[in-house]
A and B are shown apart, each in its own frame.
Chain A
Amino acid sequence: RKEVEQDPGPFNVPEGATVAFNCTYSNSASQSFFWYRQDCRKEPKLLMSVYSSGNEDGRFTAQLNRASQYISLLIRDSKLSDSATYLCVVTGYSSASKIIFGSGTRLSIRP
């Protein structure tokens, strides 16, 4: 079983729709959680951190459920520019080797 698992998609939704995807992790001792965005043939860029209390940044909401060991990303009123691959990142204690990337979920927004 992979340490971090994501539905690879693709998710194909119309502009203006709300879309959500999850990421599950296997290590209950995981410490920090992030969503990165990666455009086609580009580098990953940090989208947002994920906290137990949940956090919101404009149209994006991230949630963490420690009991069920998953994090989620919700995108409201989706735009064409949201088309990208979204990478879930889970980290452990104080070691770079404990930064685990999911393989990503592809999102395509259609006009």
Chain B
Amino acid sequence: NAGVTQTPKFQVLKTGQSMTLQCAQDMNHNSMYWYRQDPGMGLRLIYYSASEGTTDKGEVPNGYNVSRLNKREFSLRLESAAPSQTSVYFCASSRDRKADEREKLFFGSGTQLSVL
């Protein structure tokens, strides 16, 4: 059972380059999320998708776009990377059949992104 799979694990970009982070889950979860984690800042929500076909902004959406391709996949795109986007990115998913289940998050293994 793979859980949440995200790729790539590491990426180095130059300022202005674009890239897409891929995420897929095999747990039949409705909700999917993209977080970034910076030292001393905790995890901050970039975008989330409560169900297939819907996406919403989180706390720090500027400079990012997302696509909920189907129930399994949720991608994050950086159109023009900036050094401020250097971070560790985590994809997560959750069931939400009832209120308490919504917040039990299952995370992918993360992407270390450096923008030079």
Residues of A within 8 A of B (CB): 4, 8, 31-32, 34, 36, 41-46, 49, 87, 89, 91, 94, 96-97, 99, 101-104
Distance A34 CA – B73 CA, assembled complex (angstroms): 26
Picked from B48, B108, B109, the residue with its CB within 8 Å of the CB of A96 is B48
Chain B positions within 8 Å of A97 at CB level: 45, 48, 56-59
**By the criterion CB–CB under 8 Å, are A44 and B104 in contact?**
no
In the assembled complex, how far is the CB of residue B115 from the closest CB belonging to chain A, in whole angstroms? 19
**Which residue in B42, B44, B50, B59 is a CB contact (below 8 Å) of A104?**
B42
Within 8 A of A (CB), among B44-90: 44-45, 48, 50, 56-59, 90
Instruction: For A99, give its contact among B41, B45, B56, B110 (CB under 8 Å).
Output: B45
- B25 within 8 Å of A (CB atoms): no
Q: Which residues of B contact A41 (CB under 8 A)?
A: 110
Contact B45 A44 (CB under 8 A): no
